[in-house]
Structure 1
């Protein structure tokens, strides 16, 4: 499969399309992503914002420090996040992609916050903190 890559929310009120291959596919075990997704681990697909187009008018935003998470204002499906410290990047929830099986994560981030009962027996690299370095080392909730 090659670009474009499409996705959207559960009810179809929010749709997006990426015109290029992703630059980042990973798991995140941080508590903030866990709360935002409602899942024990999140997976993200990253693109440059200039490669992405949205359609629909139901996209809502929630800001938490430098991170803004988007979701459908109708069905509540989490869609993506942007981090003001990672200019020109957007990270979509893997589950929001139309063909999620195409995007294989390449590593795990924030494994120091991984739930102790969650076992993911793969050989992917594991980062104690972020897998995407932020310029100032700061992360939402004041942690790194």
Structure 2
């Protein structure tokens, strides 16, 4: 595997995903949907163009949950392990940072920080919602 490819898997290993290249964004989401889905106070994301993400094992074990049209959350039918969220309208996929052990996670931003339940003082920009180029207000909040 080349250094610009990373492979991750669900909790039991039945589903495997390989990403190629580099994510175009990495950071933390604080929205209530991501918090509920991840069962944590914050969700670490890596965003990839859809053609850079391939299910390389266990595609038949991937199930889909869509609360809204904006996200198709993918998880393993066997173990329930969360793998990724496909965002059809944005033509990108969020492969959860926690399942990519060889990717050096270098967060650059916090999104939906207005909804944060865990305040993080790390010097990164804290967006009220999303950057303007992603359809958000572009407004930043203090740490």
TM range, smaller chain: 0.7 to 0.9
2:134 is paired with a residue of what secondary structure? coil
Write out per-residue CA displacement over residues 1-51 of structure 1, whole angstroms, 9 at most, x where no aligned residue.
931011111100010111211111010000000011101100111111111
Write out per-residue CA displacement over residues 101-138 of structure 1, whole angstroms, 9 at most, x where no aligned residue.
x11111100000000xx23120001100024614xx6x
Task: Tell me how far 1:53 sits from its aligned partner.
Answer: 1.2
Q: Where do 5+ consecutive residues of structure 1 fail to align?
A: 138-144
* Structure 2 counterparts to residues 11-26 of structure 1, below 5 A: 11-26=12-27
Count the aligned residue pairs. Answer: 131
Inter-partner Cα distance in structure 1 for 2:25 and 2:119? 22
Inter-partner Cα distance in structure 1 for 2:17 and 2:88? 20
Instruction: Return structure 1 stretches of 4+ with deviation > 4 angstroms.
Output: none
1:105 is paired with a residue of what secondary structure? coil
Inter-partner Cα distance in structure 2 for 1:128 and 1:90? 22
Per the normalisation by structure 1, the TM-score is 0.84
**2:74 corresponds to 1:70:** yes
Contact 1:8-1:98 at 8 Å conserved across structures: no
Per the normalisation by structure 2, the TM-score is 0.85
